[in-house]
Amino acid sequence: GAGVSQSPSNKVTEKGKDVELRCDPISGHTALYWYRQSLGQGLEFLIYFQGNSAPDKSGLPSDRFSAERTGGSVSTLTIQRTQQEDSAVYLCASSLGTAGLTWYFGPGTRLTVT
């Protein structure tokens, strides 16, 4: 596609529910990253995928968070049993590789846990 897309753009959920956030990277980009950003804060790294290598999950805040990338393209970030502190904008980015290249960000998903 023309750019990185994310869906949904906004998600409101009740505390305790599970949510799935989707990221479609730019075609051909082997690297994909998930970040989250709380209101007025910087970006917090969550997880990244590079090709067929095992993902770097070092940034996931708890075992309620998981992510997968199917076929080296689309990625889904799943948050189980959501908590209010999970409320944030979740951003996805892709790149041709990890060698210090330009990253392309999606518009983000704004998650609100009530």
Partner 1 sequence: SQQGEEDPQALSIQEGENATMNCSYKTSINNLQWYRQNSGRGLVHLILIRSNEREKHSGRLRVTLDTSKKSSSLLITASRAADTASYFCAPWENAGNMLTFGGGTRLMVKP
Asked whether 49 and 69 are in contact (CB, 8 A), the reply is: yes
Number of residues in contact with partner 1, rule: CB under 8 A?
Answer: 26
Q: Does 96 bind partner 1 (CB under 8 A)?
A: no
Minimum distance of partner 1 from residue 89's CB (angstroms): 6
Site for partner 1 in 31-90 (CB under 8 A): 33, 35, 37, 39, 41-43, 45, 48, 50, 56, 89
The token duo for 110 is: 């704004």
Q: How many residues does the chain have?
A: 114
Closer CB to partner 1, 58 or 84, in the complex = 58
Neighbours of 39 (CB within 10 A): 8
